[in-house]
Amino acid sequence: MGEHRHTATIDAGESDTFAYLCTGCPLGCRLEVDVVDGDVIEVRGFSCKKGERYGAQEHTDPRRAVSTTVWLVGGPVERLPVRAAEPVPKDAVLSLVRELHGLEVHAPVEVGQTIATDVAGTGIDVIATRAVQPKEQLPVAG
């Protein structure tokens, strides 16, 4: 969770303000999110709508894009780049990556091919981000 800035009393009750850095683009706007009883009541500091949505989501349900690699069998390289098909709840990122640790995928693989489903019980699939053809077979002598 973000840095907790201050607490203030407003009509609706006690308001807490949390600070987040928007990662939506390189500008990196500093967001302030006002929260009352766990509900986001205002986001400030954004320069676009994307940042306003990010601030609210980062407080209530923070998620991260996850990219990693898994073992590739029968291909020209040993590792296949993959990514989660959708942003992963922040608390589940480590268990998702750990579950992929020993996974082996066999070539050929298409871009966007699902290589694991419901990883770590998140309901999120993991897909390949690179197409790989099988390693060329050496011609048989004779």
**Which residues are at the interface with ligand SF4 (CB under 6 A)?**
22, 24-25, 27-29, 46-48, 50-51
Chain-centroid distance of CA 100 in Å reads 15
Residue among 30 and 135 whose Cβ is closer to ligand SF4:
30
According to DSSP, the β-strands at 67-73 and 104-106 are parallel
Helix (H) or strand (E) holding 71: strand 67-73
Residue among 5 and 50 whose Cβ is closer to ligand SF4:
50
Residue with the closest Cβ to ligand SF4? 51
Question: To the nearest whole angstrom, how small is the minimum distance from the Cβ of residue 55 to ligand SF4?
Answer: 8
Question: To the nearest whole angstrom, how small is the minimum distance from the Cβ of residue 21 to ligand SF4?
Answer: 8
Question: To the nearest whole angstrom, how small is the minimum distance from the Cβ of residue 15 to ligand SF4?
Answer: 21
Contact 115, 109 (CB under 8 A): yes
Q: In degrees rounded to 5, what are phi and psi of residue 91?
A: -70, -15
Question: To the nearest whole angstrom, how small is the minimum distance from the Cβ of residue 27 to ligand SF4?
Answer: 4
Residue among 48 and 94 whose Cβ is closer to ligand SF4:
48
Distances (CA, A) of 59 to 39, 41, 120, 121, 130: 9, 11, 23, 22, 33
